[in-house]
Amino acid sequence: MTGIDVVGPQLAVLAAAAVVLLIDALMPQQRRVLPYIALVGLVVSALWTTSWVARDDYKTWFDGTLALDQYSVFFYFLFAGITATVVLASIDWVNREGRGQGEYYALVLTTCSGLMFLSAARDLITIFLALELSSIPQYILAGWGKDQRSSEAGLKYLLLGAVASSLLLYGMALLYGVTGTTLLVDIAGSIQADGESHRAVLVLAMCLLIAGFGFKMAVVPFQMWVPDVYQGAPTPVAAFLSVGSKAAAFAVITRVFFEALGARFLSDDWSMIFAVLAAVSMTLGNVMAIVQTDIKRMLGYSSIAQAGTFMIGLAAISVSGHEFTLGASGVLLFVAAYAFTNLGAFVAVIAISQKIGSDQIKDYAGMWQRSPFLTVALAFCLVSLTGIPPTVGFWAKIYIFNAGIRADLAWLVIIGVLNSVISGYYYLSVARQMFLGESSDGAKIPTSPSIGMALGVATIGVLVFGIVPMPLISAAHNAVEIFAQH
């Protein structure tokens, strides 16, 4: 029973998925309710998670393959929220596309459960499966659209994903081979015992893991699929990809590297790797975003840059356990902030492009006249992405740069701040289009309630946590306390 209880949140989500499928199959007329069932499932799962927080009995289950700790709880909430927003944002699109609605929501929910497992897994096998559980439905969703671009995006995503996960697998295999176990804690122990002698193979495994997860995190040089897939995939799915899988990847990589590969002789190496990757990702992502004309592509590149910024947190490992967690909590904070912000941006894009049927930035001209609400919300999210108060993005930026400085990574932080200037440039140019451009037709853009709600949630989150960041920061901080013990 306790086992069931432990995986309750995921079960709730999956159950919702099953119900959705059944209703879709048995009573097609009732399709309108599907998304709301999905939402119910997500709410239940969130409540379930809350009950843990209330009970406060954190431990690991299934012989240590699944961890039930503040860390996973943090991400459970996050993923539930993300998925809910995505579901809300999808409704209009799915109704219009009219292709297997039940299946769509079911897959979204499945992905969500996969993400949850991913954030809680403490065992290589479980991680691998959870990763696939969150990826394969996403491959499908990316190809869900009927047009060529969508299926092309799906296929590209899948092929590259397969290659990347093979690399990941090989890395895991090596890790297993050296340590003789797949449990992260035992791996850590065995490395502590006689890791030094196996440094070569460990480094190789480490790099392969970085490649595998880096693909999901979308950091240079594993990022190149991002713009294509974002542009081709249905916008709600792109939103899901841009926050869901990225967040999960960061969740898992943080856990794996801090728990299993935390040994000094490794962490010195990988913190440097992360630092370099961070610098490259930020710069490349931002520079390439400058000339983009398609807003989804632009957001894709910007998400690469953002990933680079998260990585400062991963790179920010210094000696004392305290600062150690500072970097990790920076990652979590940034992930959450980014989730709110980017979702908001994507939802706004969904609403707009549904109406004007284009993702070209130049077609956003004069939005300010056509839909003040959407314009302001989108502009707001862009401001948050730039890291200007009063938005949550500001806090994330400050916090993670602070971590970087304290980890003696001044050079990286300087690169970071310069990049925030570049990003300011292209985010502003979008805002400029919307506020100043002259729109060809002044037709108002209505906002459907679901979209409005999704957007509202995201923007409120951005604003509220921008003004009272304390809860979010402390949550992130407590979540990573578990690493302090190692």
Partner 1 sequence: MLFLESVASPPSIGEEWLWAILCAPLFAWALIVLYGRKLGVVSGYLTILGVGVACAISFAVLFNVIDADGGIATHSHEWFSAGPLVVNLGVRIDGLTAIMLVVVTTVSLLVQVYSIGYMEGDPGYGRYFAHMALFTTSMLGLVLADNLFQLFIFWELVGLSSYLLIGFWYHKPSAAAAAKKAFIVTRIGDLGLLAAILLVWTRAGTFDIAAVQDWATSGDAKGYIVTLFALGIFAGAAGKSAQFPLHVWLPDAMEGPTPVSALIHAATMVAAGVYLVARFFPVFEASSDARDVVAWIGAITALIAATIAIVQTDFKRVLAYSTISQLGYMMLALGSFGYVAAIFHLFTHAFFKALLFLGSGSVNHSTNTFDMRKMGGLRKYMPITFWTFLIGSLSLAGIFPLAGFWSKDEILLDAWRHNHALWAVGATVAFMTAFYMFRAIFLTFYGEYKGGEPVDHHDEDSHFHGDPKHPHESSWVMTGPLILLSIPAIAAGWFAYHETFGNFINGALPAVREEGSSFEFGIAISSTLIALAGIGAAYAIYYRRWVTSESLRATFAPFALLFENKYYLDRLYEDFLVKTVLQRGWNALLQANDRYVVDGIVNATGRLGRELSTRLRVVQTGQVQSYGLAIGAGVIIIVVAVYAANPL
Partner 2 sequence: MNVGIEHFLVVGAILFAMGLGVALSKRNAIGVLMGVELMLNAVNLTLITFSRFSVSDRPVSGQTFVVFVITVAAAEAAVALALAVSVYRNRDTVDVDRLDLLKS
Partner 3 sequence: MQLSLLIFIPAVAALVVMVLPQRYEQQAKWIALVASLAILGLSIQMFFAFDLDQGGFQFVVRREWVDIGSFNLQYFLGVDGLSMPLLVLTTFLTLASVLVSFSITMRPRAYFACLLLLSSSVIGVFCALDFLLFFLFWELELFPMFLLIAVWGSGRKEYSATKFVLYTIAGSAFMLVGILVLAFNQDTFDIEKLGQANFQGTLIPLTWVFLLLFIGFAVKLPIVPLHTWLPDAHSDAPTAVSVMLAGVLLKMGGYGIIRMCVTIMPKQADDYSIWFAVIGSVSVLYGAFITLRQTDVKRLIAYSSVSHMGLVLLGIGALGKVGLVGATYQMLAHGVITGLLFVMVGLMYERTHTREISRLGGLARQMPLITTGMVFAGFASLGLPALGGFIAEITVFLGTFQRYEWAVLMSIFGVVLSAGYVLWMLQRVVFGPVRHEWDDVSDQRHWWEHSVVVVLAALVVVLGVYPALMMDMIGPAVDSIMLRVGA
Residue 268 to residues 274, 279, 462: CA-CA distances in angstroms? 10, 17, 35
Site string for partner 1, 265-284 (x = CB under 8 A): ---xx--xx----------x
> Smallest distance, Å, CB 241 to partner 3?
29
Gap between the Cα atoms of 285 and 176, Å rounded: 34
When asked if residue 149 is in the footprint of partner 2 (CB under 8 A), the reply is yes
Does 151 engage in binding with partner 2 (CB under 8 A)? yes
Torsion angles phi and psi, residue 446, rounded to 5:
-75, 150
Say how far apart CA 152 and CA 147 lie, in whole Å: 9
Please give the C-alpha separations between residue 73 and each of 223, 266, 337, 458, in angstroms, as whole numbers.
Answer: 28, 28, 16, 20
Q: Closer to partner 2 by CB, 41 or 143: give it.
A: 143
Restricting to residues 402-431, name those near partner 3 by CB under 8 A.
402, 405-406, 408, 410, 413-414, 417-418, 420-421, 424-425, 428-429, 431
| Phi and psi at residue 68, to the nearest 5° | -120, 90
Q: Which of residues 319-358 bind partner 3 (CB under 8 A)?
A: 322-323, 325-326, 329
Nearer to partner 1, 329 or 419 (CB): 419
The answer for residues whose C-beta is within 8 angstroms of residue 353's C-beta and 6 or more apart is 235, 295, 359
Min dist CB 170 to partner 1, Å, is 10
To the nearest whole angstrom, how small is the minimum distance from the Cβ of residue 459 to partner 2? Answer: 29
CA 140, CA 379: separation in Å to the nearest integer?
A: 31
Assess 160 for contact with partner 1 (CB under 8 A): yes
Name the one range near partner 2 by CB under 8 A: 42-50, 154-162, 336-344, 474-482: 154-162
Q: Specify the residue, 23 or 140, whose C-beta has the smaller distance to partner 2.
A: 140
For partner 2, give the closer residue by CB, 132 or 323: 132
Least separation in angstroms between CB 186 and partner 3? 29
**Binding segment (CB under 8 A) for partner 3, from list 36-44, 277-285, 383-391, 444-452:** 383-391
222 binding partner 1? (CB under 8 A): yes
Cis before 221? omega within 30: yes
User: Which of 22, 27, 47, 163 is in the footprint of partner 2 by CB under 8 A?
Assistant: 163
Instruction: Please give the full DSSP string across 200-216, using - where no structure is assigned.
Output: HHHHHHHHHHHHHHHHH
Kindly write out the interface string for residues 232-271 of this chain, putting x where it contacts partner 2 by CB under 8 A and - elsewhere.
Answer: x---------------------------------------
- Binding segment for partner 1 (CB under 8 A), chosen from 66-74, 225-233, 252-260, 474-482, is 225-233
The pair of structure tokens assigned to 298 is 């632009």
CA 168-219-90 angle, 5° bins:
95
Q: How far apart are CA 230 and CA 105, in angstroms?
A: 19
Number of chain positions touching partner 2 (CB under 8 A): 40
* Alpha-carbon span 163 to 228, nearest angstrom: 17
Q: Which of 154, 195, 212, 469 binds partner 2 (CB under 8 A)?
A: 154
Contact 185, 485 (CB under 8 A): no
Residue 356 burial (10 A CB sphere; 0-12, 13-18, 19+): middle
Q: Which of 155, 376, 388, 422 binds partner 2 (CB under 8 A)?
A: 155
**Distance in angstroms (rounded) separating the CA atoms of residues 138 and 107:** 8
Which residues would be at the binding site for partner 3 (CB under 8 A)?
322-323, 325-326, 329, 368, 383, 386, 388-390, 394-395, 398-399, 401-402, 405-406, 408, 410, 413-414, 417-418, 420-421, 424-425, 428-429, 431-432, 435-436, 469-470, 473-474, 477
